[in-house]
Amino acid sequence: MTVSVVVSASPERVFDYLQDIANHREFTDHYLVDWHLTRIDSVGKGAGARFRVKAPGNRYSWADATFVEVERPHTIVEAGRTGKDNRIRTLGRYELEPAAGGATRVTFSLETLPATPVDRVMETFGARSWFRRKNLRALRRLRAILEGEEQPRTPRLTVAGG
């Protein structure tokens, strides 16, 4: 699943925002909720978070993501797990490319590796299109936040007790 948008901001500005996983809650809170950081430093390689996915019929809603590759200012790769017993592996990739007029094309791709035939069937029946729609909306919200058209609706994510 791959989605993209063009943001009227430099690749460096978009990268600085995206490399802080605490910011991701601001543009994904319409389908990813109950965020918790997995370490105090939320920026760069090794930064991670755990959250719930509000998908219809999803009984095993917890997921996590950790930045495993951060190459300024073009690429952020996150690896994670979700599903029953965290058996479904995920790989998300943000790619930033310069666009006309000082803008940036942001492309997000998400791959999953279902562990069982049941997981593959669930993915086939609607999960791909549902995630595509939600991630496209997330990138549109990212664009609105970075362009100043939308204020984040959630408070900044911090470590528990912080």
Assigned token pair, 13? 């500005």
Question: What is the edge-to-edge ordering of all strands in the sheet holding 48-53?
Answer: 2-7, 104-113, 88-98, 75-82, 62-71, 48-53, 32-37
Is residue 157, in this structure, part of any structural domain at all?
no
Q: How much of the chain exceeds pLDDT 70, in percent? A: 90
Is residue 154, in this structure, part of any structural domain at all?
no
pLDDT tens for 85-115 read 888 899 999 999 999 999 999 999 999 887 8
Is residue 51, in this structure, part of any structural domain at all?
yes
The C-alpha atoms of residue 36 and residue 27 are separated, in whole angstroms, by 15
User: Would you place residue 58 in the very low, low, confident or very high pLDDT band (cuts 50, 70, 90)?
Assistant: confident
What is the model's pTM?
A: 0.89
Number of domains in the chain: 1
- For residue 117, say if its preceding peptide bond is cis, omega within 30 degrees of 0: no
DSSP 46: T
The CATH number assigned to the domain holding 81 equals: 3.30.530.20
Is residue 113, in this structure, part of any structural domain at all?
yes
User: Would you place residue 126 in the very low, low, confident or very high pLDDT band (cuts 50, 70, 90)?
Assistant: low
Is residue 95, in this structure, part of any structural domain at all?
yes
Is residue 161, in this structure, part of any structural domain at all?
no
Q: What is the pLDDT of residue 160?
A: 61
One-letter amino acid for residue 134 of the chain: K
